[in-house]
């Protein structure tokens, strides 16, 4: 029999009649370790050995049974999350791992993580931070373990799906029509970014979509706006990325009251540029042509939008609100206008109709209150009930 080359592994028959093979395989952290596989026959064990070698030749790591969650997190974030998810999602996952998961579970061997141990860790996290934080951390852990199962490392179950954290549902507040009008009236007087704030309750744009809006995506003559990108902040600065979902990319009709403010916004940008260049002040010529820019020509950031919203809200004497809630107000107002859920879904560009129906369920609360009120009034009228009872008896006495 020809000698097997180096790195091809070895196959040995055990005293119990089974076979085991040992192969040096790369680890997620870049090191190399010896991996053992087992089989009832020589051929079964050899097939598993060949599979390990093939993975190693393609540079695919195969962790051993003693790999910790900390090692797996490093590989998952860099090789699974970063290349395929958005920058914002990567930063959210990385922050959750760094602040909450790694300090509490990073030392635990991934294959030995149990329900009892994980539940205890989530309970402590909920006590130290909040139940909402613990629930989010559990979702991130579940996503990482699902990826480990898809990598065919030998992990057979996702322990995170067996642990549950009770957290209050915070769907966010929304304003009614009167509050939205008060806010917009104050924004018109208080800020030059009124056109941007106007687009949120009227078209349901996300704040990153407002900041990422470009003039090439706006047709004022045809009164159409296309949502093509979002402006997000990263460690290297601000960049334009694709919208949250494919359904977010959609043309939207521009209401007539948006046309004049957007024309004014274009003239303001040109005037700011001319003034800065004439005075020798710094000016950033935005190559992407964003609609909303600062006094120096740089794109309006999501943080600045948030701060502007809060200033206007405070001066208008309105309660707490954030851009997400203002966007939700668009859906709430459409509900009260009796717009069909699928039309509302198209306006808000939700990927799932269930998200739109959640808004409907909340917005219909006044109808539920009115229905209960009518029932209460009915039950307060014994004579009315007696007449209903007599009608029921007459129907029962009539022959079929």
Report which of 293, 292, 304, 297 is spatially closest to residue 282, judged by C-alpha positions.
297
219 plus 329 within the same structural domain: yes
CA 248 to chain centre: 13
Same domain, 41 and 127: no
Residues 321/172, Cβ–Cβ less than 8 Å: no
Distance CA 320, CA 391 (A): 52
pLDDT tens sequence across 324-382: 999 988 888 888 888 888 888 888 888 777 777 776 656 655 665 566 566 666 565 55
| CATH number of residue 312's parent domain | 1.10.443.10
Shared-domain flag, residues 138 and 206: no
Total number of domains constituting the chain: 4
Q: Do residues 19 and 10 lie in contact, with contact meaning Cβ atoms separated by under 8 Å?
A: no
Place 128 in a pLDDT band, splitting at 50, 70 and 90: very high
Residues 6+ apart with CB under 8 A from 265: 195, 196, 291, 292
pLDDT number for residue 43:
87
| Ramachandran quadrant class, 85 (left: phi over 0; alpha: psi -120 to 50; beta: rest) | beta
**In a 3-state reduction of DSSP, which class is residue 71?**
helix
User: Tokens 């026959």, residue?
Assistant: 41
Contact 350, 247 (CB under 8 A): yes
CA distances from 397 to 181, 233, 312, 387 (A): 58, 75, 68, 16
CA angle 189, 192, 305 (to 5 degrees): 110
- Phi-psi bin for 6: left (phi > 0), alpha (psi -120 to 50), beta? beta
Asked whether 231 and 211 are in contact (CB, 8 A), the reply is: yes
C-alpha–C-alpha distance, residues 144 and 68, integer Å: 13
Residue 116 confidence (pLDDT)? 94
Name the most confidently modeled range: 193-197, 245-249, 335-339: 193-197
- Does some domain include residue 168? no
Of 105-109, 142-146, 167-171, least confident by mean pLDDT is: 167-171
The whole model's pTM is what? 0.65
Q: Indicate if 247 and 341 belong to the same structural domain.
A: yes
Per-residue model confidence (pLDDT) at position 26: 75
Beta bridge partners of 241: 230
Extract the tokens encoding 71: 């090692």
Asked if 205 and 338 sit in the same domain, the reply is yes
Is 296 among the domain residues?
yes
Choosing from 130, 162, 194, the residue where a domain stops is 162
* Contact between residue 332 and residue 344 where contact means Cβ atoms under 8 Å apart: no
- Tell me, yes or no, whether 316 lies in a domain: yes
**Domain of 109, in residue numbers:** 69-162
Domain membership of residue 4 (yes or no) is: no
pLDDT of residue 214: 94
Q: Kindly state whether residue 83 falls inside one of the protein's structural domains.
A: yes
d(CA 60, CA 19): 24
Say yes or no: 98 and 32 in one domain: no
| Mean of the per-residue pLDDT values of the chain | 83
From the list 239, 62, 88, the residue with the least C-alpha distance to 151 is 62
Cβ(335)–Cβ(272) under 8 Å? Answer: no
Task: Enumerate helices (H) and strands (E) in the chain, giving the number of each.
Answer: 17, 8
| Boundary of a domain, candidates 113, 130, 162 | 162
pLDDT of residue 47: 85
Instruction: Provide mean pLDDT across the span 65-79.
Output: 84
Lookup: tokens for 143? 């996503």
Which range has the worst mean pLDDT, 11-15, 179-183, 203-207?
11-15
Tokens encoding 34: 């010896």
pLDDT of residue 382: 57
116: which 2 tokens? 């009892």
CA 322 – CA 343 distance, rounded (Å): 24
The β-bridge partners of 35 are: 23
Query: Has residue 27 been placed in a domain?
Result: yes
**Residues 135 and 185 reside in one and the same domain:** no
Does 169 map to a domain? Answer: no
Confirm whether 217 is domain-assigned: yes
pLDDT of residue 359: 67
Please determine, for residue 107, whether its predicted confidence score (pLDDT) is greater than 50: yes
The answer on pLDDT for 1 being more than 50 is: no
Confidence (pLDDT) at 2? 46
**Count of beta carbons in the 10 Å neighbourhood of residue 195:** 24
Question: In this structure, are 215 and 330 located in the same domain?
Answer: yes
Residue 60 has pLDDT above 80, yes or no: no
Task: Considering only residues 174 and 299, tell me which one the structure prediction assigns the higher pLDDT.
Answer: 299
Cα separation, 75 vs 2, whole angstroms:
37
Residue (of 135, 136, 172) closest to 359 by Cα position: 172
Is 14's pLDDT higher than 70?
A: yes
How many CB atoms within 10 Å of residue 138? 25
- Among the residue ranges 17-26, 112-121, 154-163, 322-331, the one predicted with the least confidence is 17-26
Question: 110 and 30, same structural domain?
Answer: no
Same-domain pairing of 233 and 373: no
The answer, yes or no, to whether residue 62 has pLDDT greater than 60, is: yes
Output the six-digit token pair for 255.
Answer: 């209401």
In percent, how much of the chain has pLDDT > 70? 79
The CA distance from 210 to 205, in Å, is 6
Q: Quick one: 149 and 263 in the same domain? A: no
* Judgement on whether residues 275 and 237 belong to the same structural domain of the protein: yes
Neighbours of 237 (CB within 10 A): 7
Distance CA 8, CA 142 (A): 35
Question: What whole-number distance in Å separates Cα of residue 139 and Cα of residue 164?
Answer: 10
């Amino acid at each position: 029999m020809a000698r097997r080359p180096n790195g091809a592994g070895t196959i040995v028959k055990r005293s119990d009649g089974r076979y085991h093979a040992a192969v040096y395989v790369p680890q997620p952290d870049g090191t190399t370790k010896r991996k053992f596989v087992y089989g009832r026959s020589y051929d079964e064990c050899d097939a598993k050995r060949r599979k390990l070698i093939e993975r190693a030749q393609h540079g695919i790591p195969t962790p051993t049974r003693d790999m910790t969650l900390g090692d797996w997190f490093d590989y998952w974030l860099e090789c699974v999350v970063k290349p395929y998810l958005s920058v914002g999602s990567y930063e959210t996952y990385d922050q959750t791992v760094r602040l909450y998961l790694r300090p509490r579970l990073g030392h635990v061997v991934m294959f030995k993580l149990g329900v009892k141990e994980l539940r205890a860790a989530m309970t402590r996290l909920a006590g130290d931070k909040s139940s909402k934080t613990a629930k989010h951390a559990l979702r991130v852990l579940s996503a990482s373990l699902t990826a480990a199962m898809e990598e065919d490392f030998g992990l057979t179950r996702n322990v995170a799906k067996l642990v549950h954290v009770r957290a209050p549902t915070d769907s966010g507040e929304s304003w009614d029509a009167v509050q939205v009008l008060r806010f917009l009236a104050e924004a018109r007087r208080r800020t030059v970014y009124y056109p941007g704030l106007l687009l949120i309750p009227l078209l349901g744009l996300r704040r990153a979509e407002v900041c990422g809006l470009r003039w090439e995506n706006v047709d004022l003559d045809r009164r159409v706006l296309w949502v093509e990108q979002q402006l997000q902040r990263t460690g290297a600065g601000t960049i334009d990325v694709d919208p949250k979902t494919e359904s977010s990319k959609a043309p939207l009709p521009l209401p007539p009251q948006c046309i004049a403010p957007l024309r004014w916004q274009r003239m303001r940008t040109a005037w700011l540029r001319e003034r800065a260049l004439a005075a020798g002040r710094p000016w950033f010529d935005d190559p992407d042509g964003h609609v909303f820019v600062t006094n120096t020509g740089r794109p309006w950031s999501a943080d600045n939008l948030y701060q502007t919203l809060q200033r206007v809200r405070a001066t208008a004497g309105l309660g707490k609100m954030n851009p997400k809630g203002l966007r939700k107000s668009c859906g709430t107002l459409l509900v009260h206008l009796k717009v069909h859920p699928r039309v509302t879904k198209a306006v808000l560009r939700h990927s799932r109709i269930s998200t739109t129906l959640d808004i409907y369920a909340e917005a219909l609360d006044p109808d539920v209150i009115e229905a209960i009120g009518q029932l209460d009034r009915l039950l307060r009228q014994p004579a009315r009930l007696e007449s209903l009872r007599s009608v029921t008896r007459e129907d029962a006495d009539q022959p079929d």
